A and B are shown apart, each in its own frame.
Chain A
Amino acid sequence: MPLILTPINHERKCSMKHKPSAGAVGSDLIRKPIRRMSPIFMGPMVIAFIIGFVWPFAHGLYLSFCKFRTTSDATFIGFGNYLKALQDPTFLHAFWYTALFAVVSLLLINILAFAVAYALTQKLKGTNLFRTVFFMPNLIGGIVLGYIWSMIFDGILSKFGTSILLESQYGFWGLIILMCWQQVGYMMIIYIAGLQAVPGDMLEAANIDGASRWQTLWRVTIPNIMPSITICMFLSLTNGFKLFDQNLALTAGQPFVFQPDGSVVKKTEMLALNIYNTFYGQNTSARGVAQAKAVLFFILVATMGIVQLRSTRRKEVQQ
C-alpha cells in the first residue's frame, strides 16, 4: 500500500506549494559538487524532454490556432479551428460514444476487479495461480488484443450471418469485453494491495461486535480501501477515454454511416481515433481542426483526472 500512496501524497504537497520536505533539501556539501556536473546529470534528459515533449506540446498548442497543411505553412486564424471542431458531427459523436464507453467500462471493470480481489484475499487454495492468470492479458499489446478478439467475435457472429463490423452494438460490447479481459487483472492487483492493508484488528473488532460479512464489507473494508478505489476509477476512466490501439484493431470505427452532406459518421470511432483520422485523413486542410480537437481532448483528460481525484479523496478515511 505505501507503494501506491507515497507519490500521491507527495504530489499533493507540491501542488500546495509548501516548501519541500526535509529530505529534499540537499546540504551544500552535496549540492555544490553536483551543480558543477549539471550538463552530465541534466543535459541529456532536458534535451530529450524538449525534443520529445516541450517543443511538440508548445508547437501543437500554437498550431491549434492556425490553418496549416504542413508545419511550415501555418497562418494564424484564432479560434476558428475550435469552432469547427465543436461543430463537427463526427467529433461530437465520438465524444458521446467515448463517454458512454468510459463510464460503462469503469463500472464493469471496477466491480469485477474488486470482486475477484475480494475472493483472492480469502486465503483460498491456488490464489497465486488465479492471480497469475488474471493479470496475464495486461502484457499483451492493444493491437494484438484487438485481433485476437476480432477473430473470436467473428467466429461467434459468423454463425448468425453477421460480423462485429456490421452492427455498432456488437462493436461497443465487444470492446467492453476486450477491455474487461485486459484491465480486470490490473485493477485487481491494486485492489489486492489495498485489501491486504486493511488493519486486521479492525476486522476482528467488527466480527466481535457481531457485524455480518456484508456489514463488515461496507462499513470497514470499503472505507479503508478508498485510496485504491480512487486510483482504479481514475485509471479506468482515463484509460477508457484515451483508448486507441484496441479501437483501431477491433473495429476501426466501423460500421460507417454516410451522411447526406457527404461526411461519414463512424459509429464505433472513439475520440483518439477521431483525432487521428482527422489528422491523417484525405482532407489535409483539416489538420488545424485536428490539432484543436487534440487540445480539447488534452484539456478533457487532464481535468477529468484532477476533478475525480479531488471528489473521491474526500471520502477517504483519515489516517
Chain B
Amino acid sequence: MKKKRSIGRSTLTFLLIIICIIYVMPIVMVVFNSFKENSSVKTETFMPPTAETFVGWDNFVTGITLGGSFWESVFFSVFITVVSVALILLCTSMAAWYISRVDSKLCRIIYYLFVFSMVVPFQMVMFTLTKTAHTLSLDTPWTIPIIYLGFGAGLASFMFVGFVKSIPLEIEEAAVIDGCGPLRTYFMIVAPMLKPTMISVGILELMWVWNDYLLPYLVLDRTEYMTIPIHIQYLKGSYGTVDLGATMALILLSIIPVIIFYLLCQKHIIKGVAAGAVKG
C-alpha cells in the first residue's frame, strides 16, 4: 500500500517537473532569440543560437535605439509606476480611514461609488477620460499619476476600508486623549497598522500600472513620451518589416527586472494576489 502511494507521488512530481519545463519554455525562447540574427528567428525559432546565427549583443544595441530611446521609456515607466503607487497608497488609505471613522451619509455614498468603479471596464470611460485628461493638461508622465489615482481608487479604498474596520477604536481614542491630532494619529498609529494591507494593495497596483498599455497610450502624447508596453507595441505595430531579434532583446530587457522583483518579493506578491482576488 505504502509502496503504491510513493509510486503515485513520484509520478506526480515527475509530471509537475515536465509541466514546469513547458512553463518556462517561452521565456527560454525569448532568451534564445534575443541573441539570434533577425532572419533566423522565424525559421529556427526553437533552436538555440548556433555559430552562424549567434550575433552577440547586436540585437540589444539596435533594440535600444529602435523607435526612440528605450531607456527613456524605461524611465517613464518607472517614474509613472512609482509615483502612481505611492500616491494611491497615501491618498486612498487616508480616505479609507476618514470614511470608516466619520461614517456619514456622504461618506457612504462616496464609498459605494468607489466599490461601483471596480466593476466598470476601462472601455466605458476610455474616450471621455482621455478628453478630460487633455483638457486639464494631465497628459504628461508627471501628471498621469493623478489619473491612475482616480481610476484605480476603487480596489485600493475597498481593501483599506475592509481592514480599517477591523482595527479596534480604543487605540485611536487613547491617542486622541493623549493629545494627538488626526494627522498625527493617522501617521503614527493607523498607517503602521495598515502596513500589511499597504503591501498587498501596493503589489496589485504596481502590477496594474507597470503593465498597463491602453491608458498611457491614449492619455500620453505619444510623440514625446512612451512607456515600455507602448514602446514594444510601437516596434511591432508600425514597422513594415519587424526586427524580431531586436524586439525579443527588448522584451527580455523588460521582463528581467520583473522576474528579479518577483523572486525577491515572492511571498508578498502571492499574499497580495490572494487578498486582492475580489477585484472584478
Is there a chain A Cβ closer than 8 Å to B73's Cβ? no
- What's the interface size class on A, roughly? 35 or more
Q: Which of A79-87, A123-131, A215-223 contacts B (4 or more CB under 8 A)?
A: A123-131
Question: Which residues 137-162 of A sit at the B interface, judged by CB distance below 8 A?
Answer: 137-144, 147-149, 151-152, 154-156, 158
- Is A45 touching B92 in the complex (CB atoms < 8 A)? yes
CB nearest to B115 among chain A residues: A11
Decide if A189 touches B113 in the complex (CB within 8 Å): no
Assembly CA distance A302 to B46 (angstroms): 42
Given contacts A30-B176, A152-B29, contact A186 B273 (CB under 8 A): yes
Contact A54 B113 (CB under 8 A): yes
CB contacts (< 8 Å) of B263 on chain A: these are 132
Over the window 106-131 of chain A, the binary record of Cβ atoms lying under 8 Å from chain B Cβ atoms (1 yes, 0 no) is 00000000001001101011100111
Residue contact A158 to B42, C-beta cutoff 8 Å: yes
- For residue A238, give the distance in angstroms from its CB to the closest CB of chain B: 5
Which B-chain residue is minimally distant from A305 (CB atoms)? B280
A295 proximal to B (CB < 8 A): yes
Given A3-B274, A27-B173, A51-B150, A41:B181 Cβ within 8 A: no
Interface residue tally of chain B, by bracket? 35 or more
Tell me the minimal C-beta distance from A161 to chain B in angstroms. Answer: 12
- Which of A51, A71, A126 gathers the greatest number of chain B CB atoms within 10 Å? A51
Give the distance to chain A from B121, nearest Cβ to Cβ, in Å.
5
> Which A residues from 243 to 300 make CB contacts under 8 A with B?
244-245, 248-249, 272, 275-276, 279, 287, 290-291, 294-295, 297-298
> Do most interface residues of chain A lie in helix, strand or loop, or is the interface mixed?
helix
Bound form: Cα–Cα A67–B12 in Å = 60
If A151-B41, A245-B214 are given as contacts, then 15 extra A-B residue pairs at C-beta distance below 8 Å, sorted by A number, are: A3-B274, A7-B159, A35-B102, A41-B186, A46-B95, A48-B153, A52-B146, A52-B150, A53-B117, A53-B150, A122-B9, A148-B29, A151-B244, A231-B278, A276-B123
What would be 10 A-B contacts, judged by CB atoms less than 8 Å apart?
A24-B103, A41-B186, A42-B95, A49-B117, A51-B147, A140-B255, A143-B211, A143-B233, A193-B274, A234-B280
Chain B contacts to A: CB under 8 angstroms = 9, 12-13, 15-17, 19-20, 23-24, 26-27, 29-30, 33, 41-43, 45-46, 91-92, 94-95, 97-98, 100-103, 110-115, 117, 119-129, 131-133, 136, 138, 146-154, 157-159, 162, 165-169, 172-173, 176-177, 181-183, 185-186, 207, 210-214, 228-229, 232-233, 236, 244, 247-248, 251, 254-255, 258-259, 261-263, 266, 269-271, 273-275, 277-280
